[in-house]
């Protein structure tokens, strides 16, 4: 039997959704119906317990997730695992799962008060070094020219236009991707879009307080689901769930309190609502995401498959710890009440969780957009203080090796997923040339870092050793 409303009575009582069918109204439109949203914001919203905030999930690329979920009455399970601990629940917060066109139209609904977004870092089509909209991107240009929207920002703007036209009142749009100052970034992109499209009416509507763009720090490790996750869910639920997800017990959400149309009482579910998200965001991006990237590139070169495998290799774990302790932590002003040493230890334990099969390739993807959020601000801060960011530079050099060589240290081919992949690939180039060419990518390294002699020397030296000695030997003694 497959998971569905009709099958729920056979599911263990403690695992059933919090709401009865028909109890929910749609109050949130979520753009980007991936695993992360379903294992994070959707559960917080269910736990917040307000039936006015059912979620309309919108797929942005393919209809696969919407079809999969629709075939089981929009129900899916989330299994939390850590070592021996396993607890499963079925989430019933989705009220619809639709494609981009229907989803955009939904934003005009007066019952909708919040739009949330997880469309991946490159999805915003911005220049990662400056945060500006890439107006020359063919999809952005087509959206600006008024064609059927193709990009997430183009679709969001179409939804906001429809909302304004319908007079449906104010709302908040929350960027839930791993982007520093995500609210500011998204608001800037929407503003730029409207300016380029000469949509003064929408601009004034936004500036009159009808759309707010709060920032948020989101945290939960949610690996792309695999067969083993679906099999584990079926064992615990007693029914098959093709949309099953596995995640860790940990979750965190810190949200800036700017919701002109109202919001779910997420604090009831443990979210922190605050006036200033930035210290949390910076901490999480530089520590968790930063060390994730360092481990992913070194681990991939060493031929490892999951981040847990990388975290349990002593030389890689040590490199990660040193990155956290010597490079990232000194650049942070910890949020009130947070002990960075305790945060670091907990983080390393989370990454080593043997029950999560988090593919390294997932973390390693889109590095040209991730490094500018994670490692490069750390490097900038350390250099400005006259310090040598050796461990962060090791992460950057490992990224360079990963994207340029297209193979692991043992020769196994690596498929690089990145919007710049074609420009990053240079399997024949020697380490100095690779470092020079990649540091010259101003959209990644900015005007400053590409010209920094200390960084150039450090990265060139590390890349030379990664190429000659491999990732494990270099991590041991960078
Ligand atoms: C990861 C994140 O894929 C990645 O790049 O670093 O998705 C990470 O798992 C989450 O941000 C954890 O909150």
Q: How far is the CA of 56 from the centre of ligand 1 (A)?
A: 24
**pLDDT the model gives residue 22:** 87
Nearest-atom number in ligand 1 for the CA of 220 is 13
> Ligand 1 centre from 178 Cα, in Å?
8
Residue 47 Cβ < 6 Å to ligand 1: no
What is the rounded average pLDDT for all residues in the chain? 97
* Pocket lining: 191 vs ligand 1, CB cutoff 6 Å: no
Q: 448: CA distance to ligand 1 center in Å?
A: 27
Closest ligand 1 atom number to CA of residue 374:
6
**For residues 162 and 104, what is the distance between their CA atoms, to the nearest angstrom?**
8
Query: What are the C-alpha distances in Å from 288 to residues 261, 348, 405, 409?
Result: 32, 9, 26, 25
User: How would residue 84 be classed by pLDDT, with cut points 50, 70 and 90?
Assistant: confident
Q: Whose CA is nearest to atom 11 of ligand 1?
A: 219
Q: pLDDT-based confidence at 55, cuts 50/70/90?
A: very high
Looking at the predicted structure, is the pLDDT value of residue 360 above 80?
A: yes
What φ, ψ does residue 236 adopt, rounded to 5°? Answer: -80, -30
Ligand 1, from 292, 362, 399, 417: best to mutate by most atoms within 8 Å of Cβ?
292
pLDDT at 20: 86
374 Cβ below 6 A of ligand 1: no
Residue 151, ligand 1, Cβ within 6 A: no
Cβ 287 under 6 angstroms from ligand 1: no
The pLDDT of residue 60 is above 80: yes
Q: How far apart are CA 442 and CA 310, in angstroms?
A: 30
Regarding the beta carbon of 289 and ligand 1, being less than 6 Å apart is answered yes
Q: How close is the Cα of 8 to the center of ligand 1, in Å?
A: 32
Q: pLDDT tens digit string along 254-299?
A: 999 999 999 999 999 999 999 999 999 999 999 999 999 999 999 9
Quick one: what percent of the chain has pLDDT higher than 70? 100
Q: 220: Cβ below 6 Å to ligand 1?
A: yes
- Nearest atom within ligand 1 for CA of residue 218: 13
Asked whether residue 21 carries a pLDDT value surpassing 80, the answer given is no
216-253 per-position pLDDT tens digit: 999 999 999 999 999 999 999 999 999 999 999 999 99
Q: In angstroms, what is the span from residue 94 Cα to ligand 1's centroid?
A: 23
Residue 465 Cβ < 6 Å to ligand 1: no
Residue nearest to atom 8 of ligand 1 (CA): 221
Average pLDDT of the segment spanning 201-212: 98
Q: Which three-class secondary structure string do you get for 245-263?
A: EEECCCCEEEEECCCCCCC
pLDDT of residue 405: 98
Looking at the predicted structure, is the pLDDT value of residue 122 above 90? yes
Helix axes 182-196, 152-166, angle to 10 degrees: 70
Pocket test for ligand 1, best of 122, 220, 363 (most atoms within 8 A of CB): 363
For the chain, how far is it from start to end, CA to CA, in angstroms?
Answer: 54
Q: Is the pLDDT of residue 83 over 90?
A: no
**Alpha carbon nearest to ligand 1 atom 4, residue:** 363
Separation of CA 284 and ligand 1 centre (Å): 10
Confirm or reject: Cβ of 247 under 6 Å from ligand 1.
no
Residue ranges and CATH numbers for the domains of the chain are 8-274 (3.40.50.720), 278-476 (1.10.1040.10)
| Cα of 219 from ligand 1 centre, angstroms | 8
Q: Is the CB of 219 under 6 A from ligand 1?
A: yes
DSSP per residue, 338-395: --HHHHHHHHHHHHT-TT---BHHHHHTTHHHHHHHHTHHHHHHHHHTT---HHHHHH
Contact 432, 426 (CB under 8 A): no
What's the 328 CA to ligand 1 centre distance in angstroms?
A: 17
Tell me the CA–centroid distance for residue 177 and ligand 1, in Å: 9
Give the pLDDT mean for 433-462: 97
Per-residue model confidence as pLDDT tens digits over 304-334: 999 999 999 999 999 999 999 999 999 999 9
pLDDT in the model for residue 277:
97
Cα 113 to middle of ligand 1, angstroms: 27
**Separation between Cα atoms, residue 270 and residue 266, nearest integer Å:** 7
**Binding site membership of 362 for ligand 1 (Cβ less than 6 Å):** yes
CA 236 to chain centre: 28
Reported as a single tens digit per residue, the pLDDT across 30-51 is: 999 999 999 999 999 999 999 9
Q: What is the dihedral of CA 217, 271, 95, 171, to 10 degrees?
A: -70
Which residue puts its alpha carbon closest to atom 5 of ligand 1? Answer: 363
For ligand 1, whether the C-beta of 417 sits within 6 Å is: no
Residue 219's DSSP bridge partners are: 252
Structure tokens at 81: 């695992």
CA 298, chain centre distance (Å): 20
Percent of residues, the chain, with pLDDT higher than 90: 98
């Amino acid at each position: 039997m497959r998971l569905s409303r009709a099958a729920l009575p056979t599911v263990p009582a403690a695992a059933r959704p919090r709401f009865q069918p028909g109890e929910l109204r749609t109050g949130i439109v979520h753009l980007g119906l991936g695993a992360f949203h379903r294992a994070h914001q959707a559960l917080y919203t269910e736990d917040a317990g307000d039936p006015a905030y059912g979620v309309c999930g919108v797929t942005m690329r393919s209809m696969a997730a919407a079809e999969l979920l629709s075939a089981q009455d929009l129900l899916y399970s989330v299994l939390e695992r850590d070592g021996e601990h396993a607890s499963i629940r079925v989430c019933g917060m989705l009220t619809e799962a639709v494609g981009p066109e229907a989803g955009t139209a939904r934003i005009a609904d007066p019952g909708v008060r919040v739009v949330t977004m997880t469309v991946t870092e490159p999805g915003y089509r911005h220049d990662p070094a400056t945060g500006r909209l890439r107006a020359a991107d063919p999809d952005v240009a087509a959206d600006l020219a008024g064609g059927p929207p193709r990009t997430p920002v183009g679709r969001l703007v179409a939804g906001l236009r429809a909302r304004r036209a319908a007079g449906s009142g104010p709302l908040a749009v929350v960027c839930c991707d791993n982007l520093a100052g995500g609210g500011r970034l998204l608001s800037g992109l929407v503003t730029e879009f409207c300016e380029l499209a000469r949509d003064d009416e929408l601009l004034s509507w936004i500036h009159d307080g009808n759309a707010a763009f709060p920032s948020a720090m989101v945290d939960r490790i949610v690996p792309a689901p695999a067969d083993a996750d679906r099999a584990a869910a079926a064992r615990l639920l007693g029914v098959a769930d093709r949309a099953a997800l596995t995640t860790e017990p940990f979750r965190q959400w810190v949200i800036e309190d700017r919701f002109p149309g109202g919001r779910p009482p997420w604090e009831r579910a443990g979210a922190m609502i605050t006036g200033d998200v930035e210290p949390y965001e910076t901490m999480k991006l530089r520590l968790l995401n930063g060390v994730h990237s360092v481990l992913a590139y070194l681990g991939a070169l060493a031929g490892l498959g999951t981040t847990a495998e990388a975290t349990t290799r002593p030389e890689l774990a040590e490199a990660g710890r040193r990155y956290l302790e010597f490079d990232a932590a000194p650049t942070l002003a910890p949020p009130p009440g947070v002990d960075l040493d305790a945060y670091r230890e907990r983080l390393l334990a989370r990454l080593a969780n043997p029950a999560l099969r988090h593919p390294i390739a997932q973390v390693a993807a889109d590095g040209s957009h991730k490094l500018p959020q994670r490692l490069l601000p750390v490097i900038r801060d350390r250099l400005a203080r006259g310090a040598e960011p050796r461990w962060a530079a090791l992460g950057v050099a490992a990224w360079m090796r990963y994207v340029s060589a297209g193979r692991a240290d043992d020769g196994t081919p690596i498929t690089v997923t990145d919007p710049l992949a074609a420009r990053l690939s240079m399997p024949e180039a020697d380490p100095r040339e690779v470092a020079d060419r990649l540091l010259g990518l101003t959209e990644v390294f900015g005007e400053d870092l590409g010209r920094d002699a200390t960084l150039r020397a450090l990265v060139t030296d590390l890349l030379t050793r990664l190429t000659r000695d491999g990732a494990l030997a270099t991590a041991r003694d960078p």
